[in-house]
Amino acid sequence: LCAVQNVYLLQGINLIRVGKREPVLYGNTSWPDARLHLQHWLELHWPGISLLDCTTTSEQEAVEFLHRMADDPHAVGGLINPGAWTHTSLALRDAAAGVGVPLVEVHLSHTYARESYRKSSLVASECVGTVSGFGWLGYTLGFQALLAQQPA
């Protein structure tokens, strides 16, 4: 990897409530706590990688974040957990299609084992893979898969 590399993480609607919302499905760990762990993990295993993240309830802000990734010459890829937008947002899917770097879709819960409407993802076709059902560990697994694809 070259000297300056950025990885992006986009989390969509309702994910800011994780840790408080439906802990049986999403666990008790809050996003701020999970972010600290993820940042530490990246620093330990992928020195020189900077994490740029956005957790938002605004679909417009989510699309603009993907546009920033697309325009960043130092972007090597990103993780995307659109939350409920996974199943509904053509705008997010279209923005993901134009990113130009690999994306990995992640979900805290096992979406394919849940309600039937959660089994389809509009963004999956724009991602190199999906990690689903492993809680916050899925984020480190997603970054591991994403960054392992980068040239040495």
Exposed/middle/buried for residue 53 (C-beta within 10 Å: 0-12, 13-18, 19+): middle
Exposed/middle/buried for residue 81 (C-beta within 10 Å: 0-12, 13-18, 19+): buried
Catalytic position from the list 8, 107, 112, 139: 107
From CA 62, how far away is CA 55, in angstroms rounded?
8
Catalytic annotation present for 45 = no
Catalytic annotation present for 139 = no
First vs last Cα of the chain: how many Å apart?
Answer: 5
Exposed/middle/buried for residue 35 (C-beta within 10 Å: 0-12, 13-18, 19+): middle
Catalytic position from the list 8, 26, 40, 45: 26
Tokens for 14, please give them: 């309702």
Residues with active-site annotation: 26, 107
